[in-house]
Structure 1
Amino acid sequence: MHIIMITPAPEGSRAGNRATALRWQALLQDSGHRVEVKTDYRGEPCDLFIGLHAWRSHSAIKTFYQCWPFRPLIVALTGTDLYRYQHDDPEPTHESMELADALIGLHDKVGNDIPSGCRDRLVTLRQSAPVPPEKWSPGPPGNDFSACVIGHLRSEKDSLRAAKAALLLPADSRVRIVNAGKPHDERWSALVRQEQAENPRFSWLGELSGEETQNLMVASSLMVISSLMEGGANVVSEACRAGVPILASDIPGNRGLLGDDYKGYFPAGDEQALARLLRKAETDAEFLAALASQVTRLAPGFSPERERASLEQALNLAIGNCAKRRKAASPSTK
């Protein structure tokens, strides 16, 4: 099929939506489809349309539906769709969901967080990551205990929470926080530079390439994902495939990937609880090994083959539901 995929993230961006769009483009093209990734849509014909982000891509989604009402439409739901915009600006967000023949959710608990009438059109897709050439292994006991924080610096990610938690640790702690990501705006740029100047346990590397990010992850003692909202962060997939232990905020987007029995959760925004977990991971080798074992067991669920199969499931669901709509709209014949 000829597929058009819309994403709000511009070409050249390392934002999650752009990375997702390019990965899906490659996976779908491997399956024989022709896929165009666009940031602007003006009614061009295609066999199937995928809109990443219900709220940000609402205009494009509505344009496609108005121009081609009986061609299949898929909407992929992001964290801000689920946990911000469907509450703060519900009309366009929910309209995008309602127009879709299939919805893609990126973690196992998305069905709990969307209108009940949309749940039968939901496909759960776990974003994939490659197995890195080198996998995580615990560092020598005498070295710094480094915790990486990877992702754009912005409020939704609560990006400096780990840095604040590290300051609560005792003087003999070896914990160091290493942050890699691009500031969302000038405010975040000022905040991260101030933190680096004032916090001896914190360093900021700026935005890294994919290979540099992977190298940072496997060289770290663990990864912290402190987000206040997540649609299903690809960095979790990457850590699991690399065997990197994770300390994660206790939110649906993390529980929906790591499972309810994961041992490394802390209450979102609670730096004291995070400090306690950092100290436990630093001083309790069995706890750190248990986290590593849990993420390693989860790793097969984040394979490209699984993600490609989920994409094809979404395509088939959208095509089937679109055909039902078309039949229901046709004049009945005897």
Structure 2
Amino acid sequence: MHIQILTPAPPGSRAGNRATAERWSRLLQKAGHRVSVVTELSPEPCDVFIALHAWRSHQAIREFCRDHPEVPVITVLTGTDIYHHQHVFPQDTRQSMALADALIGLHHQVADDIPDVFRSKLVTVLQSAGLIAPAEADDGHFDICVVGHLRDEKDPLRAALACHYLPENSRIRVFNAGKPHTDGWQRMAEAEQAGNPRFQWLGELDKPATDALMARSRLMVISSVMEGGANVVSEACRAGLPILASDIPGNRGLLGNDYPGYFRVKDEQHLAQLMSRAETSPDYLSQLHNHVEALAGGFVPEAEQTSLLLAIEQAIANSRQRISPED
């Protein structure tokens, strides 16, 4: 089959959804399909159309369904789709869900946050990650990484703010890797770095440099206020890197309700308590490590490929039923 994947993120972008589209392209090609990753509708015919973003891709989804009613359509629900756009722009976002023959959610709790009528279309696809070999840690410090672009949804400076509540003898340092989405975010990161000796903003890193940062870190903080299923969680689990995560559905849907490393959203004092506990309690750090290690098998490429192919099968079956309901 020829499969088209539409993403708003252009070639060369380090946006998560570009990475997802390109990774899916590789997985589907390994399964024997021909795949095109596009940023706008293509005149080239295809057998399955996958659109990342229900809201951002709404116009393209609507036009594709109008012009190619026989082709199965899959809409991928991002965090902003689920937790923001379907409430602020309900008509467009939910129409994209309605037009789709299958929906892809990137964590296990997506069904709880979309309208009941669409749940039967939903297939969960957990994003995979490669292995990252751990590097020797700096025994003089307890380094924590934050990996994610500087934008409102990520709340990226929360770990830096938590540093102000740590004991003076703490060995914690926080390293933040991410591109600022606005000049305002860049100014905030630079100002925090200037006034916080425990914090360093690294800017946008390429994949090898990001992997190296994770490899030498003792802990990762994921402080987002909304997530559709962050690939950085998959990467940390595969690396055996313990996580402290904001208590949101997108994190619980990957780490599980029993994960012991959640902190209250936007609560840097609570986060500081957990950071300090991880630094000073080997038992607690081991508990976090054991949890992520146990989850790592769910984030392998083979599992992601299997789920992705299942979503395609469901879309094809639903489109046939839509076109010939009497069958």
Measured in 1, the distance between the counterparts of 2:176 and 2:280 equals 22
- In the other structure, the counterpart of 2:268 is 271
Tell me the TM-score normalized by structure 1.
0.96
Q: CA deviation at 1:135?
A: 3.0
The amino acid that maps onto 2:188 is L
The Cα of 1:45 is off from its aligned counterpart by 2.0
How far apart, CA to CA, are the structure 2 residues paired with 1:43 and 1:92?
23
Does residue 111 of structure 1 match 2:108?
A: no
Offset at residue 136 of structure 1 (A): 6.5
Distance in 2 between residues matched to 1:21 and 1:108, nearest whole Å: 20
One of 183, 187, 210 as aligned partner of 2:184: 187
Structure 2 distance, partners of 1:310, 1:212, is 29
The residue aligned with 1:311 is 308
The farther-off stretch of 223-232 and 165-174 is 165-174
Post-superposition Cα deviations, 1:85-137, rounded to whole Å, max 9, x if no partner, equal: 001111110000000000000000000011101000100010000112x1377
Q: Deviations over 1:133-172 (max 9, x none)?
A: x1377x46x4111110001111100000000001111111
Alignment of 1:192-271 (within 5 A): 192-271=189-268
Give the aligned CA root-mean-square deviation in angstroms.
1.2
**Aligned partners of 2:271 and 2:251: how far apart in 1?**
15
Aligned to 1:52: 52
Aligned residue number for residue 38 of structure 1:
38
Q: 1:135 maps to what in 2? A: 134
Partner-residue secondary structure (3-state), 2:4: strand
Q: Deviations over 1:38-66 (max 9, x none)?
A: 11115542111000000001111111100
TM-score by length of 2: 0.98
Deviates more, 1:297-306 or 1:38-47: 38-47
Within 5 Å, which residues of 2 pair with 1:41-80? Answer: 41=41, 43-80=43-80
Give the structure 1 partner of residue 319 of structure 2: 322
The code of the aligned residue for 1:57 comes to S
User: Is residue 246–residue 291 contact of structure 1 (8 Å, CA) maintained in 2?
Assistant: yes
How far, CA to CA, are the matches of 1:143 and 1:125 in structure 2? 40
The residue type equivalent to 2:98 in the other structure is E
How far apart, CA to CA, are the structure 2 residues paired with 1:70 and 1:191?
Answer: 49
Displaced runs of 4 or more, over 3 A: none
CA shift, 1:211, in A, is 1.2
Distance, in Å, in 2 between the alignment partners of 1:166 and 1:109 is: 31
Q: What is the distance in 1 between the residues matched to 2:41 and 2:188?
A: 36
Query: Which residue is equivalent to 2:12?
Result: 12
Give the conservation status (yes or no) of the 8 Å contact 1:223–1:239: yes
Say whether residues 1:100 and 2:100 are aligned partners.
yes
> Contact 1:76–1:103 at 8 Å: present in 2 too?
yes
- The answer on whether the counterparts of 1:136 and 1:243 sit within 8 Å (CA) in structure 2 is no
Higher mean C-alpha displacement, 75-84 vs 187-196? 187-196
Q: Percent identity?
A: 58
CA displacement, residues 166-223 of structure 1 (integer Å, 9 cap, x when unaligned): 1111111111110001001111111111111111110011111111111110200100
Is the Cα–Cα contact under 8 Å of residues 136 and 244 in structure 1 kept in the other structure? Answer: no
Amino acid at match of 1:199: N
- In structure 2, stretches of 5+ residues that fail to align are none
Amino acid paired to 1:135: P
2:302 is paired with a residue whose SS is: helix
Instruction: Report the equivalent of 1:81.
Output: 81
Q: Which amino acid aligns with 2:147?
A: I
Gaps of 5+ in 1: none
